[in-house]
Amino acid sequence: MSDQQPYSFFQSVEKSFDRAAQFTKWEKGLLEQIKACNSIYSMRFPVKMDDGSIEVIEAYRVQHSQHKSPCKGGIRFSEAVNQDEVMALASLMTYKCAIVNVPFGGAKGGIKINPRAHSIYELEKITRRYTSELVKKNFIGPGIDVPAPDYGTGEREMAWIVDTYASLKPGEIDAAGCVTGKPITQGGVRGRKEATGLGVFFGIREVCNMTDVMEKLGLPVGVVGKKVIVQGLGNVGYHSAKFFREHGSVVIAIAEYEGAIYKADGLNEEEVFQHRKATGSILNFPGATNLAKSGDALEMECDILIPAALENVINSTNAANVKAKIIGEAANGPLTPEADEILVAKGILIVPDMYLNAGGVTVSYFEWLKNLSHVRYGRMEKRFTENMNSHILSQMETLTNKKVGEAERKFIMHGAEEVDLVHSGLEETMITATREIMEIWKSNPAIPDMRTAAYVCAINKVGTSYAELGIFP
């Protein structure tokens, strides 16, 4: 808990939960069970560094809920990791999965390291050792607990995890399902990498397509022409920016921890990414204006602000200066509860993290299903569909004596590839969840904001699950 925050991250999740719980019918004890973190594994293990010194690594895995199995959630590498943070993030996973109808309980892992301060070989040793600690305590497995990438981790770390797990569990046929976010060659699914950013886009696009919601905010319907600011150019921020730009929005500013840049007619995230790679900073991007502080980007005039990095970036010190109409919480917990109150009072629509960034776990679910079924999506039906489409098309052409154009022919003929099915499943999931939460919000005028409506949705789903399970005597 930092000095200026009166609540820890976990307490702020509990606070939001309690606020929403009053709009549900569940008895106190059941609500307490939904809120509690079921199992907390706090570990310390030694790792020999490249220079021969030994470092004791602090790490966690928290399983918040087993109301559905396995439990699921990423592993983050960050110096800010602590037990409270991992507990909060694990709870958010339970609620997130419930909202998007992904049948998992929530979990989260964290290793307290600065990944930039370690060599790749050191990171590999830390990741493999962490995995074997999880195996020893039965905290990982395709039917137990399935980690995934999070802040500071990616495909590379997931490959180390699956390899360590599989070598410790020889013959386990479903071993690939012990972790998601893997490289394609190691059992990953196409579309996982961009999933969270694409989910953020689908969620906000759905909100922007709601006439009554846009009317209230004084904005035109749709995402075309909307001014977007993205904070964080990691995997989630990068892909959020990419999909908004590709669908006609204008990304006017991008912030990273070294600073922020602004360009009124729009930034291209790939060009900014390449510039950062080459120069080590997003600053001094050709044609853009540097902003003095990274945080300045959060306070600029825009339609949609996407905080896509770490928690608490909008807090009581800067919330009053935020001028966005919509905030899309791509990161987990980017707003403190005080900031949340200030922003809601200002009439800003906050689209909450808990469901908005669920694209990652949704596609993780698809990856896990792929691993259990041992077959790539589309393999069985792609050719069949194409043959059928070709047949229908030629019948139509014969009957009408007309030919369709080449581009149209290609489009009609296309049988779904894995990535098409994954994107389509994600789109369906995010649209359904957005509508469900909005319906809850509209159905009860006492519900103050979309976050509370999302919690109500989650509590009702997890509550139903516990109630139907019964409590084990």
Binding site for ligand GLU (CB under 6 A): 72-74, 148-150, 180, 332, 357, 360-361, 364
Q: Which residue has the tokens 């608490």?
A: 312
Q: Would you say 78 or 180 has its CB closer to ligand GLU?
A: 180
CA dist., res. 233 & res. 224, Å (int): 22
Q: How many helices (H) and strands (E) does the chain have?
A: 16, 12
> In this complex, which beta carbon is closest to ligand GLU, that of residue 127 or of residue 332?
332
Helix axes 9-21, 337-345, angle to 10 degrees: 50
How far is it, in rounded angstroms, from Cα 29 to Cα 27?
Answer: 6
Catalytic residue among 68, 96, 108, 226: 108
Could you tell me the smallest distance in angstroms from the CB atom of residue 74 to ligand GLU? 3
Nearer to ligand GLU, 30 or 309 (CB): 309
Sorted by sequence, the CB contacts under 8 Å of residue 76 that are 6+ apart come out as 89, 108, 109, 110, 111, 150, 151, 152, 153
From the CB of 356, what's the least distance to ligand GLU, in Å?
10
Q: How far is the CB of 142 from ligand GLU (least distance, A)?
A: 13
Give the C-alpha separation, 179 to 335, whole Å.
29
The nearer residue to ligand GLU, 297 or 331, going by C-beta atoms, is 331
- Residue with the two structure tokens 């919330």: 319
150 or 206: whose CB is closer to ligand GLU?
Answer: 150
Dist. CA 409–CA 387, nearest whole Å: 13
Closest residue to ligand GLU, based on beta-carbon distance: 74
Number of residues that make up the chain:
473
In whole angstroms, how close is the CB of 462 to ligand GLU at the nearest point?
16
User: Could you tell me if 67 and 462 are in contact, meaning their C-beta atoms sit under 8 angstroms apart?
Assistant: yes
Residue 108 annotated among the catalytic residues of the structure: yes
Q: For the purposes of burial, counting CB atoms within 10 Å of the CB of 95, is it exposed (0-12), middle (13-18) or buried (19 or more)?
A: buried
Minimum CB–partner distance for residue 100 and ligand GLU (Å): 10
Q: How far is the CB of 46 from ligand GLU (least distance, A)?
A: 27
Pick the closer one to ligand GLU by CB: 63 or 180. Answer: 180
Pairing of strands 71-77, 259-262: unpaired
Query: Are 37 and 71 contacting, i.e. CB atoms less than 8 angstroms apart?
Result: no
| Residue in this structure with the two tokens 């904001």, named with its chain if needed | 449
Catalytic site positions? 108
